Amino acid sequence: MQSLIPYICKLQSVFETVEMENIIDLPQIVVVGSQSTGKSSVIEGIVGRDFLPRGTGIVTRRPLLIHLIHTPLDDHQRQGLKFMLDDWATFGHLPNKNFDNFQEVCDEIQRETNKRVGTQSAISDIPIYLKIYSAKVVNLTMIDLPGITKVPVGEQPPDIEKIIHNMIMKYIQKENSIILAVTPANADFANSESLKLARKVDPNGNRTLCVLTKLDLMDDGTDAKEVLMGNVSPVKLGIIGVVGRSQADINADKTVKECLEKEVNFLNKNYPELAEKNGIPFLTTTLSEGG
């Protein structure tokens, strides 16, 4: 899948310009999880940038299709750019504008969301298309979807659970998609909502990978070793544990890079025999190899 990403991006760009839904199956990683499971931290860890809106309730209110494009420092696309040695981003709805300030990327995601569905809690299935160019990323296409929820709030319709369920199913039922089922380690693994949905369309788990978040927030005296080893509920593509960037980290202005360093230290201390096959860097490598 790695070598196909530039061509996939070109194909999907055609749909960006006219806001059409993709009418062909293209390889993509669909990120699924309940609210507050750490989806945003996983995505930002893979990207290495803080760029996603955060808050309470449903924050992701439109599908966000993220193309990560590995762009070496000597790549011709950097020529003439004022930020030749830095990362930058573009949006499908603003194809001629480059963003090198990732807080502005976050603001634009919110602005474009509000333009379509208002400032309350309504959602839409019309995607926002974002490309991120960096020398530090691997070539991936990810789709961030609204978090699974049970109870409507604000202007949300009473059947919000069904609406989000149908939106998620539309993406994960595609045979070419890899389902990234995000599940918190400090909750009952057997009741994972993301894995329940994944099993509906991928009962054998051939294209499901579970990300076990918040390893550092488990109760004292407990750990996730049995889950990570697949002894509780096996997932064919594997279960990868991560620490992630908590709200406390965000409040303390810790960068994504600092939190990744914290993750390495945590895994080496608490899961020394499993550390090499867990964490955001291992997850990124696994995804770039197509599972």
> What mean pLDDT is reported for the chain?
87
Q: Which CATH architecture has domain 2-288?
A: 3-Layer(aba) Sandwich (3.40)
Which pLDDT score is estimated for 89? 95
pLDDT category of residue 77 using cuts at 50, 70 and 90: confident
Question: Mind listing the pLDDT tens digit for each residue in 200-257?
Answer: 999 988 999 999 999 999 999 899 999 999 998 878 899 999 998 988 898 898 999 9
pLDDT category of residue 4 using cuts at 50, 70 and 90: very low
Quote the tokens at residue 282. 């291992």
Which pLDDT score is estimated for 217? 93
Domains of the chain, residue spans: 2-288
Q: Where are the alpha helices (DSSP H) in the chain?
A: 5-18, 39-47, 102-117, 160-172, 193-201, 225-228, 247-251, 256-270, 280-288
What mean pLDDT comes out for the span 170-180? 92
- How large is the C-alpha radius of gyration of the chain? 18
Which pLDDT score is estimated for 123? 87
Which pLDDT score is estimated for 20? 42
DSSP annotation of 99 reads: E
Task: Print the SS3 string covering 31-86.
Answer: EECECCCCHHHHHHHHHCCCCCCCCCCCCCCCCEEEEEEECCCCCHHHCCCCCCCC
pTM: 0.89
Which pLDDT score is estimated for 173? 94
Question: Mind listing the pLDDT tens digit for each residue in 93-132?
Answer: 998 999 999 999 999 999 999 998 887 778 899 999 999 9
pLDDT category of residue 198 using cuts at 50, 70 and 90: very high
Which pLDDT score is estimated for 232? 87
In the predicted structure, residue 13 carries a pLDDT above the cut 60: no
What's the full length of the chain, in residues? Answer: 291
In the predicted structure, residue 21 carries a pLDDT above the cut 90: no
Q: How far apart are CA 96 and CA 135, in angstroms?
A: 21
What mean pLDDT comes out for the span 72-92? 82
In the predicted structure, residue 18 carries a pLDDT above the cut 50: no
In the predicted structure, residue 84 carries a pLDDT above the cut 90: no
DSSP annotation of 274 reads: T
Which pLDDT score is estimated for 24? 46
Q: How far apart are CA 146 and CA 169, in angstroms?
A: 12
More confident: 251 or 143? 143
